[in-house]
Structure 1
Amino acid sequence: MGRVQRGAAAWALATALAAGALVAGAPAASGLAGTAPVPGRVARSFDPPELRWGVGHRGVDLLAGPGGAVRAPAAGVITFAGVLAGRGVVVVSHGELRTTLEPVEASVRVGQSVTAGQVVGRLASGHSCPGGQCLHWGLKRGEEYLDPLSLLSGAQVRLLPDAAAARARARAELRLARQMLEAAAEMPAVGATRSSGGPLARPVSAAVGSRFGMRLHPIFKVWRLHAGVDMGARCGSPIRAAADGVVSHMGYDSSGGWRLVVDHAPRGGASLSTSYLHAQGYGVRAGERVRRGQVVGWVGSTGWSTACHLHFGTKLGGKAVDPQGLW
């Protein structure tokens, strides 16, 4: 196990152990009954991460048409109505709870009081989800994420007391830290991920689950080209650059989640690039040079993904080709 893996796993384990000792008092629970901000069905459910910094879906996505009315889920006060990271966002405070709605072209102003069901804006395009465009609806109390659909039942939204929540988080963090240690222990040295004949190294130490070629899409259930290979590594496993190169893109999109593209030296007169999708995140930025075997990110399940894995793609002369032919 390399020093990078050991260090990351040890840090996570130390964090988990420390979290177990941090216990606070228990505040009173809150209740709030509300209404759906748009009438569409749920396209993606609430799926919070075990850890606050982990991968998950911290809200719900509701199918809706761009331009449709977006309504306040409950009575409250507008605390934000503007653009964040290129997307329109409206935040409604309901006392100790607050809801977030995006992407929305706001028709309300900060400080304005609203009633449940009152129009606060129009849905903007840009948040794709299985089935079309969606509104992302979030609910928080402090830094804790809650299921927004719990507002629709009319029942109280209840959280564990802080002490119990802290102990639960500590157990989850300790469990994940141990998994990270096990995964790191199983990782071979960087050189062991290289093939004997191809120009590229394997980006993760994992078997190929879904190969390059036509397949039935696991989410949309249609036949389409799978322009890469899926490698079933655990979330948090290191992703390594397949060859020396320069990062040409690092960003987030709805389909690929956290996506990285690296340009490499031409091969046979044709440009060569590699792409890495669905990560938890990356430690490099556009314009940065990377070396073969360098850790550039960590496996996740962001974007249109059903489980932890890395989608690894290659393009030769701008055309998608099977990565396994280059290992």
Structure 2
Amino acid sequence: MLSSAIGASAAWAQEELVISTWGGSFRDLIEENIGKEFTRQTGVPVKYITGGTIDRLNKAKLASRPESDITFTTSHIGWLYIDGGLFEKLDTSRIPNYSHLVDAARISDYHIGSWAYVYSIGYRPDIVPSSVKFESWNDLWNPALKGRIAAPDFDPSHLIAVAALLSGGDAATWEKGQDKLKALKPNFKAFYTNDANGQQLIASGETPVQVLLSMNAYHMAGQGVNIKVAMPKEGAVLGVDTMGIMKGSTKVDLAYKFMDIALSPEVQSKIVAYKKASPVVDNATVSPEDASLPGVFTTKEQWDTQTIVIDHKLRAEKTADWRKWFTENIMN
């Protein structure tokens, strides 16, 4: 192992792999669990370019040559990279553990899952009346929650899909849920602008019920906030963060090596323990404690029965329309 690492280091001398990702805890997640292992195995340092999801997409569209070799983005925004001709088509034979990738993480021929999570109902059991149960998404409409709920303002797709589902439709026929969603307006207190803002609102108790990212809830729980994540009987809205190789990268071999390490069972196991995400390979090891958390999926049955999956390409096409409608009809 040592001799191969030395050989690789010599072959890739003076190289540097550039990763485009979100900042903050997500950059740390990649660096601590993937980047350091990549450098250990190859001797190649990793540089990170960080920014918001849409900001990085717009910057990539304007660049004459790619700033990064690999880009992490959400599954649906990844389709916008593809539409812009920004991702290389993947040769999955160069990613040995691809054969263990769960179906939900096989997003396209150009980008694949790196970890998964859910948007679900998070709540403060010390503040919410004990009579209020969250066994179904319908429970958000409970009159007892008037003026107590928060949801993200930057991506209303979760609630739009849920309202459509509860109204006999789905994301493709989202208009069916419009009246249902309008009926939820009295229960909203706030719409948070980013993860930090959302965490502050629920930690303070100002909005003791939220539609939130499961990983954020578990992060707060680890800091002592009394917060629970519900798993509604309809399932929770699946989110998959993905990685793709930028077209025009001069370090494609290194990029494949990085992706292979990211999908290795050892690294996937570390990501689950670090962030309480779902592993996207079926051969990762997950502790019983983490496996018991709502939204951490370790079996095919869970992937099949506990997720609400919004078609990723449809979501990319509809996000702007959904946000416009949500802003005009729910937030205003």
Sort the TM-score into its range (normalised by shorter chain): under 0.3
TM-score normalised over the length of structure 2: 0.22
From the two aligned structures, give the one with the greater strand fraction: 1
